[in-house]
Chain A
Amino acid sequence: MNAITTAVIDLKQLELFAQGDTQVHGRDARVKVLVTLFFILSVISYHRYEINGLLPFTLFPIIMVCRAELPIPYLARKMLLICPFILLIGAFNPLLDRSTLWQVGSIEISGGCISLLSLLLRSFLTIGAALILVATTGFTTICQALERLGMPEVFTVQLLFLHRYLFVLAEEAERASRARELRSCGSTGRGIGSFGSLTGHLLLRTWQRAERIHTTMLSRGFTGQFHGQRRERFSHADLTFLISWSVTFLLMRTMEPATLLGSFITGAFP
């Protein structure tokens, strides 16, 4: 359980990166949300065997990470954490889909393997883009941007509370499991038996704590709207950012530069 809490605390860390002040951080949140959305849509619109076409898309996360000065090891660790889940989803692809798609010398590569690889690539790209969005914008500001883009307020506030609630749950879980560990004197304690009441308590405590937090929020004048740190105005730079990335994604998606490059090379050196 402690592993989960460290992961969640780590997620809070992600939020802290949003305090940075690079150019990427300064872009209007709505623009970043839209660009990320376009990116994700372009990536997932490929068919399941696509790899070549996806490669140019790695440019976007790389450029964003560099320009926003985000720590690469941290992001890499987050991605690795997600790896097992993707593998779980795609694990059977190589077994089920044995038709040969590629032939490298005498080695035949089955469609299943390709689709697994493609799945991994697509997951990394989309999840990476989402992580970068949070790390350069902050969750509160993203929710605000969504609201200004026309999402009903009820949903954004729900989203925010869910986000906060996750942290509350993790903190309570950590306390409870530490208390249990300390009193079970290094052994596994009463084992699974005590976990029943532990989780029961945990839910109640989380519920109460969330309620108390809500009370303190109300007593500080909370009326159902979160106010983020930046009150942005749409600038020319924002517009350029939006248009240039959207056009790039569109070109990458439709022209398939990797294939173009490939045919150019094979064309040039027959």
Chain B
Amino acid sequence: MSHHIVEVKNLRHVYADGTVALDTVSFRITHGESVAIIGANGAGKSTLLQHLNGCITATSGEVFIGHIPLTRNTLPAIRRTVGMVFQYPDDQLFMPTVFEDVAFGPRNQGLPEELTAERVREALELVGAAHLASKPPYHLSGGEKKRVAIATVLAMSPDVLVMDEPTSGLDPFARRQLMGLLREFHHTKIFTSHDLDMVLELCPRTIILHEGIIMADGATADIFANDHLLAACRLEKPFALQGCPVCRTSTN
């Protein structure tokens, strides 16, 4: 299906205070691809992701989801296609209980109550948060909030999964669990991360963003082999490629 193609053409975003967060960004992500967007703090990653389901409007340029241009009219359909996990889970959780919060999306999609409950249970199970269902979200730990925030999006069964730093704040076990979950998700997925080892494991393709410009777009292995490029973009190799810290031997 061409449904899950994500295409960005000459996207430019200037914030109200004059900050140029994105400058002529273009790329095309085809169905089933798994792509990481990496870059230093303030590189424009979150800004870019927010364009993918029209949370913010571009200064210029276009976004296409499954060949449909993102406009005011197509917005509801696109938001049903693209599931977005935001960087700060606090912004995403606002209902009185975790269950209600995860049910918010499916209910908006008009699902009947039994199906909603089922979806909610499944989604919470997937992120290992089933035991939190009746807790209020504001009483959760940071990582628990993050997992619930991910569940809120999974419950809507999106065709394209977009995540802003999904593993930040997760404990090693939850991180593994999430990585397993992402591997299982066979539709298009796009995420930003500072967790370069996860990028190496999950994403065959990587895009490096630096000061609002795409510095590299290609195979993850090639990009992490390019020391010059990484240094220029305030990045470094994943630990898995850096060699053993104890015996000081290098793997390559």
Residues of A within 8 A of B (CB): 9, 12, 15-16, 18-19, 138, 140, 164, 167, 171, 209, 212-213, 215-223, 225, 227, 229, 231
| A207 CB, nearest partner CB in chain B, Å | 13
Query: When the two chains form their complex, are residues A15 and B96 in contact, meaning their CB atoms are under 8 A apart?
Result: yes
Contact of B109 among A15, A215, A219, A221 (CB under 8 A): A221
Interface centre among B50, B107, B156 (most CB of A within 10 A): B107
Is B113 in the interface zone, CB < 8 Å from A?
yes
Query: When the two chains form their complex, are residues A220 and B138 in contact, meaning their CB atoms are under 8 A apart?
Result: no
Query: When the two chains form their complex, are residues B97 and A19 in contact, meaning their CB atoms are under 8 A apart?
Result: yes
A12 to B103, CA, bound (A): 18
Interface residue stretch chosen among B86-94, B174-182, B183-191, B218-226: B86-94
Residues of B within 8 A of A (CB): 50, 53, 55, 76, 79-80, 82, 84, 86, 88, 90-92, 94-97, 100, 103-105, 107-109, 113, 134, 136, 138, 152-153, 156
Query: When the two chains form their complex, are residues B108 and A222 in contact, meaning their CB atoms are under 8 A apart?
Result: yes
Query: When the two chains form their complex, are residues B108 and A16 in contact, meaning their CB atoms are under 8 A apart?
Result: no
Chain A residues with CB below 8 A from B108, complex form:
220-223, 225, 227
| Between-chain CB contacts (< 8 Å), 23 pairs | A9-B138, A12-B136, A15-B96, A16-B96, A140-B95, A140-B96, A171-B90, A171-B138, A212-B86, A213-B92, A215-B91, A216-B91, A217-B104, A218-B55, A219-B82, A220-B105, A220-B153, A221-B80, A221-B109, A225-B108, A227-B104, A227-B108, A229-B100
A85 to B215, CA, bound (A): 62
Contact of B105 among A12, A15, A221 (CB under 8 A): A221
A225 to B153, CA, bound (A): 19
Q: Whose C-beta in chain B lies nearest to the C-beta of A209? A: B91
Interface centre among B79, B82, B108, B152 (most CB of A within 10 A): B108
Given A15-B96, A215-B50, 10 additional A-B pairs, CB 8 A: A16-B136, A171-B138, A213-B91, A215-B55, A219-B55, A219-B84, A220-B152, A220-B156, A221-B79, A221-B105
Chain B residues with CB below 8 A from A227, complex form:
104, 107-108
Query: When the two chains form their complex, are residues B96 and A12 in contact, meaning their CB atoms are under 8 A apart?
Result: yes
Q: Whose C-beta in chain A lies nearest to the C-beta of B96? A: A15
A167 to B136, CA, bound (A): 13
| B207 CB, nearest partner CB in chain A, Å | 21
Interface centre among A19, A171, A225 (most CB of B within 10 A): A19
Interface centre among B50, B53, B79, B82 (most CB of A within 10 A): B79
Chain B residues with CB below 8 A from A231, complex form:
113
Query: When the two chains form their complex, are residues A16 and B97 in contact, meaning their CB atoms are under 8 A apart?
Result: yes
A227 to B109, CA, bound (A): 10
Query: When the two chains form their complex, are residues B76 and A219 in contact, meaning their CB atoms are under 8 A apart?
Result: no
Contact of B79 among A140, A209, A219 (CB under 8 A): A219
| A121 CB, nearest partner CB in chain B, Å | 31
Chain A residues with CB below 8 A from B104, complex form:
217, 220, 222, 227
A219 to B82, CA, bound (A): 8
A212 to B109, CA, bound (A): 21
Query: When the two chains form their complex, are residues A218 and B79 in contact, meaning their CB atoms are under 8 A apart?
Result: yes
Q: Whose C-beta in chain A lies nearest to the C-beta of B84? A: A219
Chain B residues with CB below 8 A from A12, complex form:
96, 136, 138
A220 to B107, CA, bound (A): 10
A221 to B95, CA, bound (A): 15
Chain A residues with CB below 8 A from B95, complex form:
140
